[in-house]
Every structure is written in C-alpha cells, then in structure tokens.
C-alpha cells in the first residue's frame, strides 16, 4: 500500500470516527493548497490571503505612525491567492461552492490590484483572474467566461467524501424559516406576533 492509499484510508477513518467533522469543517485552505501544487505554481512567489487596494483617504492622517497604519490594513479586501510569475500576475478566488458572489469578489480584486501600492512594480504585467471551485453555479461559470476570467473545476479525491457529509445539511430546515416552527397549543408562532 502506497503513501496515497494510506493517507486516503486514514482520512476516511478519521472523518468517520470524529462527529465534529460531520457538522462543519473548513476545507478551503487545504483545497487551495492542493490546487497550487497540482498546477505547479510552487516555484513562483505566492501570497495567500493577500490584502489588496489602497487605504481610503478618510482613514489616513498625516500624524499616523507605522503601527497604526498596519492596524488600518484590516479594512482592506483580500484575495485568496496572489501569484507573481515571471511575466504575469494571477489572482485566485477559491471556493467549494462557487456562485455569483465569488464572481463579484474576483472582479473587484482585479480592479483593486491596480490600486495596490505594494505591487506597483508589477502593475503593468498581464493580469489573469482565476476562479477555482468544485461545485459551480451555471450563472457564475457563464459570467466568468463572459468577462474574460478563467473558471477551473477542481475536485480532488478527498473532496467527494466531504461533499457527501454536506448532504445532511440540505435536508434540515433553515433557522430563519418560521413556518417550520411547531405550533404551541392553538397559537402558531406567527399569531404571537399579531
């Protein structure tokens, strides 16, 4: 049994025995890291969770020091991955379920990159916007192609097991849906608000 088979067996065993993994797990960091390795981007300069865009003028003060400037950096938007190649720049937005909201983020990151002072020396490089997802919304896929972005479908073996654990979430009612609440006596929850 090779290393890949042992890793797969250990992953399946751990997810089956751990009840916390059935509720919720954040897997996008692992997903993005494996995509980077799969694409062969490790030899480039990689910036995960990179802040983009300038600080707004309303936040700047001429008397501000460097420590306070770093604190103000928290209000800037960030992309999942910024890759500086030899002759191009890649901005990547990754998500297991890729919808139109991810498309809007990626479009904004392309605009904000040109305004980021940290990367002023590479602003003239060609910019590629890449969306990486396992489950794509049809509208998001079409919008990416329409606006010159690159939609990528990437599904590693371990993601299939994770997606099966999400099925139970689709079957339970949403907390906001009041018509799923039980009635109390003769009154329903809606009649209490009247």
Average the pLDDT over each of 14-28, 36-50, 80-94, 99-113 and give the range with the smallest value. 14-28
Contact 180, 190 (CB under 8 A): no
| Greater model confidence, 69 or 104 | 104
Cα–Cα distance measured from residue 56 to residue 76, given in angstroms and rounded to the nearest whole number = 9
With a cut of 70, say whether residue 58 has pLDDT above it: no
With a cut of 70, say whether residue 149 has pLDDT above it: yes
Domain assignment present for residue 7? The answer is no
Q: Is 160 left (phi over 0), alpha (psi -120 to 50) or beta?
A: alpha
**Structural domain of 73:** 19-192
Domain assignment present for residue 77? The answer is yes
With a cut of 50, say whether residue 115 has pLDDT above it: yes
Domain assignment present for residue 10? The answer is no
Domain assignment present for residue 9? The answer is no
Q: Is the model's pTM score more than 0.85? A: no
Q: Average pLDDT, whole number, for the chain?
A: 77
Domain assignment present for residue 100? The answer is yes
Contact 131, 101 (CB under 8 A): no
How many angstroms separate the Cα of 174 from the Cα of each of 20, 22, 24, 96, 178?
Answer: 20, 17, 15, 20, 9
With a cut of 90, say whether residue 80 has pLDDT above it: yes
CATH code of the domain covering residue 171: 3.40.1350.10
Domain assignment present for residue 14? The answer is no
Residue 126: how many CB atoms within 10 A of its CB? 9
Count of structural domains within the chain? 1
Domain assignment present for residue 4? The answer is no
Q: Which two tokens stand for residue 112?
A: 């904000």
Domain assignment present for residue 6? The answer is no
Residue 42: how many CB atoms within 10 A of its CB? 9
């Amino acid at each position: 049994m090779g290393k890949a088979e042992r890793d797969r067996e250990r992953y399946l065993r751990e997810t089956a025995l751990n009840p916390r993994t059935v509720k919720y797990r954040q897997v996008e960091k692992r997903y993005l890291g494996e995509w980077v390795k799969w694409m062969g981007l490790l030899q480039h300069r990689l910036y995960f969770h990179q802040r983009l865009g300038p600080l707004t003028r309303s936040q700047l003060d001429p008397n501000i020091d460097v420590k306070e400037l770093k604190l103000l950096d928290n209000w800037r938007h960030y992309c999942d991955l910024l890759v500086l190649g030899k002759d191009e720049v890649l901005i990547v937005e990754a998500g297991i379920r890729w919808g139109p909201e991810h498309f809007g983020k990626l479009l904004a990151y392309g605009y904000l990159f040109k305004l980021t002072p940290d990367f002023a020396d590479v602003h003239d490089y060609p910019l590629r916007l890449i969306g990486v997802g396992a489950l794509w919304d049809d509208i998001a896929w079409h919008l990416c192609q329409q606006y010159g972005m690159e939609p990528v479908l990437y599904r590693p073996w371990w993601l299939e097991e994770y997606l099966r654990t999400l099925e139970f979430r689709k079957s339970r009612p949403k907390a906001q849906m009041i018509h799923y609440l039980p009635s109390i006596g003769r009154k329903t929850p809606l009649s209490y608000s009247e």
